[in-house]
Amino acid sequence: MIIRKYLLEKTLDELEIEPGTNTFLSAGFGNFGIFNDFENLEDVFNFVVMKLVDKVRPGFVIVPTYSYSFSESGATSFFDPSRTPSKLGHFSNWFLRNVSEYRTPDPMVSCAFSSVKAESQFSDVNDTSYGSGCLFEKLLRSTTPTKILNFGLGYKWMPFIHYLDFVMSSPYRYQKKFRGKIIQNSDVREILWEYHVPIRHPSGEGTRSEEH
């Protein structure tokens, strides 16, 4: 498929997203095909994100920048929001370098925001990725509406799916604690972080879209 710039712009302009809406953008640009009228893929990233930033302002564009930094080996696990790369690929790392003004201090499933103003609203979260007091819960309970925009991805990539697992007490995921260090500026904090992991059983294979 070949996508022309004017068609991409028309599609973005017609999105039913009002100003002041936080927009959670999960993107798979490689699923579209060929983008015409752009110099390179990062030019496409910039075009799409800047259109969205202008469209939702004073709301935020939010991009998942998951790193899964804490592991069984807590002695060597660390996460630095300003330095740790995302494991979700080219787009999420481009967003971190070029757009992000605030990244949540979640060592497993951090998210980056297009404005530093998000820090005052979403920095006070509990030490959990999907449990009570996590970012996803705060977004849903915020007085500012949040919309999900999956760009080139299907519904299985919905970012809130594992928070819903927690709310519904899904039998195929359970809470697990991971030890590690979070580094912010010169501050080093050793913590136990709660992350909901999938059970290792054949019946759970269909649920393991790890991760979004």
The confidence band for 74, taking pLDDT boundaries of 50, 70 and 90, is low
Distance CA 150, CA 156 (A): 10
Q: What is the pLDDT of residue 209?
A: 45
The confidence band for 33, taking pLDDT boundaries of 50, 70 and 90, is confident
Q: What is the pLDDT of residue 17?
A: 96
Of 17, 11, 12, the residue nearest 147 (C-alpha): 17
Least confident of 7-21, 64-78, 113-127, 143-157: 64-78
CA-based end-to-end distance of the chain: 24
Of 110, 143, 113, the residue nearest 125 (C-alpha): 110
Q: What digits encode the pLDDT tens for the residues 163-194?
A: 888 889 988 888 999 999 999 988 999 999 99
Of 127, 92, 129, 131, the residue nearest 112 (C-alpha): 92
